Structure 1
């Protein structure tokens, strides 16, 4: 089990691991909307156009694209980061709209949460290089110093 986890960590790297975890989370979040639909208060901007179950598929598809992108080389994994940002950006937009229309005043706080804890973190993670920590310095060998 540890050998498989080590191989997986080496194969995916830091960015890939982040995308894999994010992809699984977004997929599960979307499935949760289908299995047990929550209140749609504040999401009227979205649910006036399509039912919540259709928007759940946006989360699921974004999660699958994000997860699949985890296995791509650095530089080609950008679609995963873009896909990961789409659903929370839509939700933040809907909650912000609900604040301005007066339908859900608390939606502003939820929108800020989506923009910071989701979109902001994803944007930051997309800029983190795979190997940003320099290797440890080598110890000097005994003797032979000029």
Structure 2
């Protein structure tokens, strides 16, 4: 019975765990956006609502979450679509809040810029630290 969790952890590892937890989070957040978006969110991302309605953005978050889950057990280097699905929504939200603040749509939108951007940064850090190491011999000429 202990072999199954060990086998799953070998497939998942920290990188996959980050993608899986992000995927679950994005699906849950997207569902809340489609069901009943909060007033502050709607005000903060006004610039995006000119492009698509909130329901469509919610489905975008859900789609990115599913992408994260689909690639969470893939080896490093083959999980790039999952990493893109983990990074793109918070970066887009961060940009939207920044534009919402600059445009005057929401005077408090600036407070959401760093939290959303930091999640994308954490995923990038995890991806960098857990990348597959290639062993290449050092060749020195002239010795």
TM-score of the two chains, using structure 2 as the length reference: 0.82
Q: How many residues align?
A: 131
1:90 matched to 2:95? The reply is no
Q: Which runs of 5+ in 1 are unaligned?
A: 133-146
Aligned counterparts of 1:95 and 1:130: Cα–Cα separation in 2? 31
> What residue in structure 2 maps to residue 9 of structure 1?
9
SS of 1:90's equivalent in the other structure is helix
Uncovered stretches (5+) of structure 2, i.e. residues with no partner:
134-143
Equivalent residue, structure 2, for 1:68: 70
Equivalences for residues 35-54 of structure 1 within 5 A: 35-39=35-39, 40-54=42-56
- Alpha-carbon shift at residue 52 of structure 1 (Å): 0.3
TM-score by length of 1: 0.81
Q: Which has the higher helix share?
A: 2
Give the structure 2 partner of residue 127 of structure 1: 128
1:37-77 deviation digits (Å, cap 9, x = unpaired) = 22211111111121100000110111111111112121111
**RMSD of aligned alpha carbons:** 1.9
- Tell me, in whole angstroms, the C-alpha distance in 2 between the residues paired with 1:60 and 1:70: 15
Larger Rg: 1
